[in-house]
Amino acid sequence: MPLRRSAPARRTVQLAAGSLVTLATVLALPLGVPATATATPDAGKTPAHPEQDWMGSTIAVHEGIARSGGSEPRGAWPRRSVAGVDVSSHNGKVGWWKLRRMGVRFAYVKATEGNNYKNPYFEEQYHGAYNAGMIHGAYHFALPDHSSGASQARFFAHHGGGWSRDGRTLPGALDMEYNPYGATCYGRSHAGMVRWIADFVHTYREQTGRDAVIYTSTNWWKRCTGNSGRFGRSNPLWIPRYGSSVGTLPSGWRFHSIWQHTSSGHTVGDHNRFNGPYSRLKVLAYGPDDDD
């Protein structure tokens, strides 16, 4: 287990059009991608290959949101946005070069879930996006009823969720959504859920030097955290809403950084938009300067 160290000083940089997000001072700690990734049950609770293991898989089911179509008419998006996708094991082999030709410029790949599950396609998908010229990142599907936030953050950081200051690697994302295996809010109170998330993001910052992106819907955030405003100044927001706009944001965030706008897009289902030009996406990937 790596030694804990105090959290580094942070500064505020602009990540998206009109938005300010606090980033941790960069500590270049590249963590190797595992040579092999396997799916292992979480103490008998999590299936070896989760059937609802992808980002946003529970959102439409619980919130009754109709899934948006996958077409993106030319001119439908402002120039100050960047197309992206997110994938997990259910996507298998991904046609990255086809996505690249469609204009996709960044990708998040599911790395882990809970404390034991590792996406068996992670290495292929993660490097596939990179080799197609995309900026890539990894995400963790949280199971707060399985173990502490710190424990899951360390597991994630050491099994694909690490960060490298190569200008092509995004900070890891924490997927907070409805429990696909049991109680909606994982049996935690509002205060208990906020403490769990704080435990995860604090430990992830210690492990990597970066503030994790938080993926969540406004409805889940209100229901399971009591609409906490604690993380809006430190953690970029990734919001799922399958419609024509992002809608109301969770408390604490004045702006979103990434919008998951459809789960029925071309080639892979989940398509996203970064809220800013490509130059700002690179800032999110590269992080602040060492001397700031």
All domains of the chain, ordered by start, with CATH?
13-26+51-66+79-286 (3.20.20.80)
Residue 34's pLDDT is 33
The pLDDT mean for the chain works out to 82
Predicted TM-score of the model (pTM)? 0.82
Non-local (6+) Cβ contacts of 172 within 8 A are 111, 137, 138, 139, 140, 156, 157, 161, 162, 163, 204, 208, 210, 212, 213
Model pLDDT for residues 41-97, shown as the tens digit of each residue: 344 444 444 556 678 888 878 886 544 444 443 445 556 899 999 999 989 999 999
Residue 217's pLDDT is 97
Residues catalogued as catalytic: 86, 175, 177
Model pLDDT for residues 224-271, shown as the tens digit of each residue: 999 999 999 999 999 999 878 899 999 999 999 999 998 888 999 899
Residue 23's pLDDT is 40
